[in-house]
Amino acid sequence: MGHTIDSTPMSTRNSKEFLTERGMQSAERRIPALAAKAGHDAYRAALEHTGAVIVKTSRGQMVERKRDGSFTVIKDLPVGKRVKPGTVLTRVKQTG
């Protein structure tokens, strides 16, 4: 069953129209899929428009992917650091 979310600004809606808690939860569950689709659409649009896109791969490389499917490794990236969920990171001021 498909759901749609009205994109009309709240200020212009009839004041008697409200999302129910169930409707809100349903809309919120769709956010990850909508975000993923937006990312894929942006990738495809950039690739079509420019002919190449710079991306990070799962192998830890920065590559340029071209429209024809070929790619060029630009740089091997350093291994990321694992961070325990809930850890608060703070910036250290650089002197000099």
Whether residue 72 lies inside any domain: the answer is yes
Whether residue 55 lies inside any domain: the answer is yes
Domain assignment of residue 67, given as a range: 21-76
pLDDT at site 30: 95
Question: Mind listing the pLDDT tens digit for each residue in 35-88?
Answer: 999 999 999 999 889 999 988 887 889 999 998 989 999 999 888 888 888 999
Whether residue 70 lies inside any domain: the answer is yes
Question: Mind listing the pLDDT tens digit for each residue in 3-38?
Answer: 455 555 555 555 567 889 999 999 999 999 999 999
Answer yes or no: are the C-beta atoms of 60 and 79 closer than 8 Å. yes
Query: pTM of the predicted model, to two decimals?
Result: 0.51
**Total domains, the chain:** 1
Whether residue 15 lies inside any domain: the answer is no
Whether residue 6 lies inside any domain: the answer is no
Whether residue 61 lies inside any domain: the answer is yes
Answer yes or no: are the C-beta atoms of 65 and 71 closer than 8 Å. yes
